[in-house]
Structure 1
């Protein structure tokens, strides 16, 4: 049995994982779901990492899954705990000294997102469209539940500070990307991950919110990583 610790992206809500949790438990695993202090202006990446470490406690056989912005926090946890496997899921990959805010321009995300829209026959918009970008492949009932919630706050603090590690942690790391992600397109992620981590990007159907849109298939992919020989 493994312990899956699930780190959300911007907004920090554990609710994001609520459809994946029963799928992992059904496969015999323990699951730790983390609420990050996203609304706390005083909380930076170290405080986010503290929150994850505290949630894990003394558990072992640890698999850490980091969604989107969670890619800034998860490596810090790997420096502090014996993580067996880090799964980056549609995640941001920083380099030493780079702030989360600078990541967007440094990687060329905006142009990649616009190019993806054109390829899909959509008009690149100057205004961010939450539903079009994030919920285009999420089931209608799940989408309605998400949009009925108050939009979670996200402090700018963790985006403003330089990423504090001097190198990527020596933790077995895999990268899984939704091939229909409109925020971080697949070809964009392949380039960024190759340049920054030197590892391949695996892909599966679905957009940016895979845990909401395809929880069963995502659980199967995570289980395959878990049992894959090192």
Structure 2
């Protein structure tokens, strides 16, 4: 059975982020639409949701997949499209009344990532290449850094998440076991506190596993299981 998947990128905003996953999903007979988010600094979460809805060419039902910051946008699609499932990949999971700018302190992301860095004997200061691209090939990393059409985020980070509660739609969290930005135990706690999820689907790879591990990510997306015990450390 074919699945229609709508893919929302993270803070980078470019559909290119999903290109390896799109190819893998299409190879398996599914349809995947990667969203190109607005680039203006005045764009809001509502603008992002409108752009994603406009990219969905068909009645669905859709599986909406969101990377990182995209988790602030994905639930807004449930009032705009026929959504049968939400899948959050290495996500920033919002709660009502919160901005994306406040999310970091509210969740304790900084101390969690610093603790993981100390444990792994890495520098605690964030470095884009070291912390995001450590498991991405040099060729893809070069392509990513060559891109210039990256979204500005002032409006998105300032807007209060507009929903009163999480939509009543089946929701899954897929987490990279080697995500240096959102460590696994941190993400388990946040998903439990904010979504009531006791299990994550844990796959290999870091924060950008759509680039580094598209096969494993496609497996998890299509399994429709809340967690894959074989992949969980």
TM-score, reference length from structure 1? 0.93
Structure 2 counterpart of 1:195, from 193, 203, 215? 193
2:112 is aligned to 112
1:107 Cα deviation after fit: 0.3
Gaps of 5+ in 2: 228-233
1:23 is aligned to 24
After TM superposition, the structure 1 = structure 2 runs for residues 52-67 of structure 1, keeping only pairs within 5 Å, are: 52-67=52-67
Residue 223 of structure 2 corresponds to residue 224 of structure 1: yes
2:230 is aligned to none
Separation of aligned partners in 2, 1:46 and 1:183: 26
1:82 Cα deviation after fit: 1.9
1:85 Cα deviation after fit: 1.1
2:83 is aligned to 83
Residue 74 of structure 2 corresponds to residue 74 of structure 1: yes
1:151 Cα deviation after fit: 6.8
1:9 is aligned to 10
Secondary structure (helix, strand or coil) at the match of 1:5 reads strand
CA RMSD of aligned residues (A): 1.4
Residue 130 of structure 2 corresponds to residue 169 of structure 1: no
Separation of aligned partners in 2, 1:225 and 1:25: 17
Gaps of 5+ in 1: none
Secondary structure (helix, strand or coil) at the match of 2:48 reads helix
Separation of aligned partners in 2, 1:153 and 1:174: 26
User: 2:14–2:149: 8 Å Cα contact kept in structure 1?
Assistant: no
